[in-house]
Structure 1
């Protein structure tokens, strides 16, 4: 299952670019965010899902709560400076052990972020979620995917009826004191960011949902990852040209744990975006996955270095 169409001659060698220049690589400065992909199954089939989640895609199998606990044990045993645990998918709440995983991370005192479409799979766990949020105040953030403030544009991605269902769930979360953040898409008709944030602000005010649409963390607008677009390779010289530090790129401070279908156990990947590219699989443990990551993929340029995006806070 490919992540992107590679431009001719580019992104072939982890050490050198097509022009023979030294490719940029990013060292793990400190593991601060640990992601768990709970599985690629989802209740929706979105038009532009970067990981191709759907009700049938189980290329990444369900992680178990026991497997998640093993990595959390490693973090604590090795004194790793992890500040945040993130859960993504697929739809995380499709995984039947998601509440147990949440309970474990919160009980250990980790700040915890869950990426969800906030539809029926999440709402099946209302009582457990309320109890966990009450027991661990301030630690849990639910980031809801709401592609656009216009229902028609959101449903262009996620299907008929999805907008109203998600808004109802967000109102439920807000009314019960959950910290709610949003994830939108920045590429609809080249709408200026200020106008898009103003539209979200109006929508949220109308529905009584206390999210600051002007805050780039509370409302993250992710750049489009067009797999057909040609992007430059990132060389070592680019850091100076762009006046950008390697430490600002996701793989300098985060890793993601997945379980591939049919695999004997989970593995650790360089980041959340490159789930299917074997060169970004770094090992079975967090210690093994601490080595540098060559930026040998279009997403590294498109999304992280040039797009300036990050999946965490």
Structure 2
């Protein structure tokens, strides 16, 4: 088991030796919110232009990221909870020793929280910018 002190030391080591320790990954451009300031807002992206990162390609990218010193992965988008393979992608990150987090508008969080926790998610950031649907 690692301690907070060892995690902080690892982070400082990575920063001192030229690497970011965190990678933010937009796993989809689909969103269920209608924020007027966001290019991913519901209705701003045409259905034919919706994109989802392929989970198997993501797994290969994790190998590269980990090899370059990335130790934390933050999933955002669009709304990451709309990605059907998000729990798998979280589990892939954990299996490679990376700490996953999500940035979400929170509307779908309660319905998926148990599944996300079981996959290894420990950090959730909830944006309160979105207007109520």
TM-score higher than 0.5 here?
Answer: yes
The counterpart of 1:31, out of the listed 20, 25, 42, is: 20
- 1:88 alignment counterpart: 76
8 Å contact kept, 1:106–1:140: no
Cα distance, 1:32 vs structure 2: 2.0
- 2:102 alignment counterpart: 114
Cα distance, 1:159 vs structure 2: 2.7
TM-score, structure 1 as length reference? 0.33
8 Å contact kept, 2:31–2:40: no
Matched length: 114
8 Å contact kept, 2:40–2:77: no
Runs of 4+ in 1 over 6 A off after TM superposition: none
Tell whether 2:121 aligns with 1:159: no
Tell whether 2:116 aligns with 1:146: no
1:127 aligned counterpart, secondary structure: helix
8 Å contact kept, 2:28–2:80: yes
CA distance in 1, matches of 2:126, 2:75: 12
Tell whether 2:85 aligns with 1:126: no
RMSD: 2.2
Cα distance, 1:45 vs structure 2: 1.2
User: Between Structure 1 and Structure 2, which shows a larger proportion of helix residues?
Assistant: 2
1:158 aligned counterpart, secondary structure: coil
Cα distance, 1:108 vs structure 2: 1.7
TM-score, structure 2 as length reference? 0.73
Where in structure 1 are there 5+ consecutive unaligned residues? 1-28, 134-138, 148-156, 161-313
1:68 aligned counterpart, secondary structure: helix
CA distance in 1, matches of 2:64, 2:105: 30
